[in-house]
Amino acid sequence: MRFTANQWAIVGLVLVLGWLLGLLSHPGGARWRRAYEDERTARRDADVHLAAARDRIAELERQIASHPVGPGPAAAIGAAASGQRDDLALIRGIGRLGETQLNEAGIYSYRQIEILSAAEETSLETRLGLRAGAIAHDQWRAQAAMLRERRTDEHRALYS
């Protein structure tokens, strides 16, 4: 069967009209536009979150830089070997982990805790991850004084 030129023109015209009708009736353009806008909003939110995280990291790095690490474990071992190190873990609120951290900060004796200045106390609380005022609240100075004076029974009665 052979088509005439008029029949080919009609087939072509029907195909073009069908294509145009399909474009006009298809709702996909709006859906894709909404998906694009949602993705763009999510990307903006992620960028804001990332910028906030970077600012927080920079702030924490500044805090760390203002509280340098002390002599470290080697100095703690040396102080213990020479008898210059007290058992700081006996102070309520310190514990063994806190004692290690204090030793790393260069604090080995009850006397060093007793003579902490307010600025050193704040710095130490920040470095140890304690809440502000924890050293004063737990009375580290008073406990250190009792333990230095070998009043362990009184210390145990008050702070255990």
Q: Which domain holds residue 136?
A: 73-159
Total domains in the chain come to 1
Within a domain: residue 30? no
- Nearest-angstrom CA–CA distance, 55 and 126: 19
- Nearest-angstrom CA–CA distance, 64 and 132: 16
Q: pLDDT tens, 4-25?
A: 999 999 999 999 999 888 877 7
CATH number of the domain within which 147 lies: 1.10.150
Q: pLDDT tens, 78-94?
A: 555 555 688 888 888 88
Within a domain: residue 110? yes
**Is residue 85 within 8 Å of 79, Cβ to Cβ?**
yes
Q: What is the pTM of this model?
A: 0.49
Burial of 98 (0-12, 13-18, 19+ CB in 10 A): middle
Within a domain: residue 143? yes
Kindly report the three-state secondary structure assignment for every residue of 77-136. HHHHHCCCCCCHHHCCCCHHHHHHHHHHCCCCCHHHHHCCCHHHHHHHHHHHCCCCCHHH
Within a domain: residue 59? no
